[in-house]
Amino acid sequence: MKGRVLAGGSAQGRALVLHEPLSLWGGMDPATGVLTDANHPQRGERLTGRVLVMPAVRGSSSASSVLAESVRARMHPAAILLGEPDLILAVGAAVAEELYGVRVPVLVMDATDLLAIRDGALVAVGEDGSVGVSR
């Protein structure tokens, strides 16, 4: 599988497939990486080190700040795979790289490809946007 690269980098981690859209602002505590949105069915999951699979985006314009802050705290997700482009997250990843030298790949993928990724699967994201999935 291959995605369009919004923010580059290579990463590996277990997939966390979000059942509902999540805004990182108000939805993730950047100091702990925990999903905190009270209305989200996966509240309490830890996003740190996971490959987030987000079929739909609920954009908050401050999600970029929260992503960068989670990188500063080294509590960030390993990578973010989106079903639709989100420039806010792309810029958050770009700033995190500028400030802290840490790259969090952000990719847009085909909807059917995204659906093929199961929760907990081991996902490897390559510099060129390649996405490999193994159990």
Partner 1 sequence: MLAGEQGPGTALAMRLVVRTAEAMQADRLLRITRAHVDSCLYHGQATLDFVDRLVDGGARAAVPTTLNVGALDLLHPELWHGSTEDAARGRRLMEQYRALGCRPTFTCAPYQVRDARPSFGEQVAWAESNAIVFANSVLGARTERYGDFSDIACAITARAPDAGLHRDAARRATLRLGMADDLPPALFDDESLYPTLGLVLGRRAGTRVAVIDGLPPRLSEDRLKAMGAAAASSGAVALFHAVGSTPEAPTLDAALQGRPPEASAIVSLAELRDARQGLTSLPGGAPDGTPIAAVSLGTPHASLAELSRIVDLLAGARAAPGVELLVSTSRDLLAEAEETGMAGRLRAAGAELLVDTCSYIAPILAPGRSPVMTDSAKWAFYAPGNIGVEVIFGSMAECIRSAVDGRVRREAGAWGAA
User: Catalytic amino acids?
Assistant: 60
Of 81 and 94, which has the nearer Cβ to partner 1?
A: 94
For residue 76, give the nearest of 101, 51, 108 by alpha carbon.
51
The distance of closest approach from Cβ of residue 47 to partner 1 in the complex, given in angstroms and rounded to an integer, is: 15
5's tokens: 């690269």
Question: Interface with partner 1 by CB under 8 A: which residues?
Answer: 6-7, 25-26, 30-31, 37-39, 56-66, 68-69, 71-73, 84-88, 90-92, 94-96, 98-99
User: Would you call 73 helix, strand, or coil by DSSP?
Assistant: coil
The distance of closest approach from Cβ of residue 79 to partner 1 in the complex, given in angstroms and rounded to an integer, is: 16
DSSP 8-state class, residue 115: H
Of 71 and 78, which has the nearer Cβ to partner 1?
A: 71
The distance of closest approach from Cβ of residue 120 to partner 1 in the complex, given in angstroms and rounded to an integer, is: 27
Percent helix, strand, coil in the chain (nearest 5)?
20, 25, 50
The distance of closest approach from Cβ of residue 135 to partner 1 in the complex, given in angstroms and rounded to an integer, is: 31
Of 101 and 135, which has the nearer Cβ to partner 1?
A: 101
12/46 Cα distance (integer angstroms): 16
Complete DSSP assignment for 22-57 = --STTTEETTTTEE--TT-TTTT-B-TT-EEEESS-
Of 39 and 134, which has the nearer Cβ to partner 1?
A: 39
